[in-house]
Copies of this chain bind each other. A is one copy, B any other.
């Protein structure tokens, strides 16, 4: 199976990228850590950046799937949705901290889409449920940035706040809960 070595390489790279930073890791190290030959690295990935990108995209995708499930899992009530969404993201960050870091370290150059949140904000504004002075695009981006920024910071040292404090703070700062 082609997947065997590729998996090993992806896992090894995740560990190394998080531990030392993408730029301080090289293809030989990744191959060695994965327990495969250098050639195998290049048989599966064009270069280190392609591997990195596939790691980021896969992590973002896994996160997206979890968030979508969370959204679908309960009532449309905005507060409950925000709570379920933030809960899903925190759970992901806790369960797979390295994948979460990979996805967001580097400032999210690979674009975490905020279209969904933006659309939802617009709807809530039309319903009169959300402050019309918020610019939906900006607010959506703001929440994405704060969420990833806070969680990276929290994962760095979980004693910075309890899970509940972090959760509650993110929820309460969510633009969808900003009443008019």
Let me know if B143 and A145 touch, CB within 8 A.
no
Q: Is A74 an interface residue (CB 8 A)?
A: no
From A29-37, A54-62, A65-73, A170-178, the one touching the partner chain is A170-178
Whole-angstrom CA separation of A137 from B143 in the bound complex: 17
Copies of the chain in the assembly: 4
Complex CA–CA separation, A131 to B133 (angstroms): 21
Q: Is A144 on the interface with B (CB-CB < 8 A)?
A: yes
Q: Separation in Å of the A6 CB from the closest CB of chain B?
A: 19
11 extra interface residue pairs, beta carbon distance < 8 Å, beyond A169-B175, A173-B178 = A106-B106, A107-B149, A133-B168, A133-B169, A134-B168, A135-B162, A135-B165, A138-B169, A139-B169, A142-B146, A172-B178
